[in-house]
Structure 1
């Protein structure tokens, strides 16, 4: 069992850290809002720290799941950052969805300190984190990945190294691009069926077994039909992720016309007050009329 630090105890990080503790690892946690870290320790044991540096001190592996590029930089660097508390030969694993640019930047800083770095964004949402069934996409050296994989196994259904530093983040962008198109297509189909007078649940029971079937269809059609979106992966976070996708596409000369369009549809949902709605709330804008 390893001595670990986990930075960020949100809807994803909290359950992931819980799985690590349940596997017998010694876990020290840090969260920007200290009350959340206190509650986590009260429920699951371990220790809490006042800064990322304090959490990382003495840890074999430090894991993070925070909000965005700036959040990740803040927990890694500076006098109170995790890197300042980590010894040479230790490993940093980042589960945040961020740009490949900041991943490579921080991996370079870590390498200069003798610290390993693996970018390991996740897919599967809050339910996947709670159930220990996340899909984890990784970038980094083979040696660093092998060390990370043994720890990540506590909450992963599948974990795979896809290339060097930044490859995990590129794979996560591909994941979000796929989701954007799938959710918009499902929204249009369900809204179309409503206008035509069909029973959406009955239709999905049939078409989900064929070529149109998807995780989104199986797991989201009922709540979409019911107009229930107060759960899941927020539109605000999806727009953050799609911004990364679109900026990266510009940088590498890729074309993402559908993604760009769906991003604007999500902007419509935000303007309707749905920024904290699940991503499946795209159907809301099709029901306005």
Structure 2
């Protein structure tokens, strides 16, 4: 089986490397040559494509790209890969996009005899590198079952949610909750500082209360240690909460808490913090 992988950034790179480590025949492509080199260093079964179109004969193609517009350009444009892929091949996307775009991609692929499975991811680059990235899959069940052995090589656990709408909606909602929680945590840390509570003790004690959370456990210590290195950047966080607010609006629901959090991430980006980790929202609260 020949696998193509487009997009070797913080998330895509580790997943592609997991495939190479597993001995899969993987053809990779990215605009960044350093990202290609890091990925190919994972083993001997990977090779680089000169351009994305060179992957047209692959049996399975992955994409891990920043925005819906990038996916549409690479896969659905006049010369996009979905117009060139062979009948019966399968396209897997692990990006974070909105459910409406996902359904549009699925219909576009189906009309050309290509299967589509949406597989947004649950955690960060560290988990992805160890093949411990939760995967939330959606799409035709038979197509999903065909690629399940491949998905099990790139991450775990793999959850099947039904359609692509459910898979991508879950990921967007998860990020809405996580990023809003992070903003509240940042606010709480400022208040704890105002109260004169030792920051490290503050985190330890919060973990024993109803305020405990993934963001507290992971990003709380980073904030206290002034560690804002980019694991999941402000700009990506803003993109995801924006997608969530737009998704909610399209369903007639006013996501008020997320909209408030979005304002803080917008301020952080406006202050030039877009390439710092999303915990940099602490700096604008």
Distance in 1 (CA, whole Å) between partners of 2:32 and 2:283 is 33
- Structure 1's consecutive aligned runs of 4 or more residues displaced over 4 angstroms after TM superposition are none
Deviation, 1:33, is 3.5
TM-score (ref. length: structure 1): 0.92
In structure 2, the residue matched to 1:161 is 160
Give distance in 2, aligned partners of 1:43 and 1:150. Answer: 20
In 2, the alpha carbon distance for the partners of 1:195 and 1:79 equals 57
Contact 2:176 2:240 in 1 (8 A): no
Distance 2:35 2:232 in 1: 20
Q: What is the CA-CA distance between 1:51 and the residue it aligns to? A: 2.3
Q: CA RMSD in A?
A: 1.7
Q: In the TM superposition, what whole-angstrom CA distance separates every residue of 1:75-114 from its partner, at most 9, and x where no partner exists?
A: 2124542223321111100001112122111111110111
Shift of 1:256: 0.6
SS of residue matched to 1:134: coil
2:205 aligns with 206
| 2-structure distance, mates of 1:173, 1:78 | 25
Q: How does 1:1-150 map to 2 (within 5 A)?
A: 2-34=1-33, 36-45=35-44, 46-57=46-57, 59-78=58-77, 80-150=79-149
User: Could you report, residue by residue, the CA deviation over 1:130-181 in whole angstroms, capped at 9, with x for unpaired residues?
Assistant: 2221121121011111123221112322221212122211011111111122
Indicate conservation of the 8 Å contact 1:118/1:140, yes or no.
yes
Is the CA contact (8 Å cut-off) linking 1:52 and 1:76 kept in structure 2?
Answer: no
Give the direction of change, closer, same or farther, for the CA distance of 1:209–1:144 in structure 2 (3 Å limit): farther
CA–CA distance in structure 2, aligned partners of residues 177 and 237 of structure 1: 12
Which piece of structure 1 moves more, 102-111 or 28-37?
A: 28-37
Q: Superposition pairs for residues 177-256 of structure 1, below 5 Å? A: 177-256=176-255
CA shift for structure 1 position 42: 4.8
Report the alpha carbon displacement of residue 66 of structure 1 after superposing the two structures with TM: 0.8
Question: Please, which runs of 5 or more residues in structure 1 have no aligned partner?
Answer: none
**Normalising by structure 2, what TM-score?**
0.94
CA contact (8 A) 2:21 2:42 kept: no
- Kept in 1: contact 2:16–2:39 (CA 8 A): no
Whole-angstrom distance in 1 between the partners of 2:74 and 2:33:
14
The separation in 2 between residues aligned to 1:234 and 1:223, in whole angstroms, is: 14
Q: Which moved more, 1:121-130 or 1:249-258?
A: 121-130
Which residues of structure 2 form unaligned runs of 5+?
Answer: none
Classify the secondary structure of the residue corresponding to 2:19: helix
In the alignment, what sits opposite 1:170?
Answer: 169
Residue 40 of structure 1 deviates from its aligned partner by: 3.0
Instruction: Give me the whole-angstrom Cα distance separating, in 2, the residues matched to 1:74 and 1:271.
Output: 27
State the shift of 1:26 in Å. 0.7
What is the distance in 1 between the residues matched to 2:212 and 2:263? 25
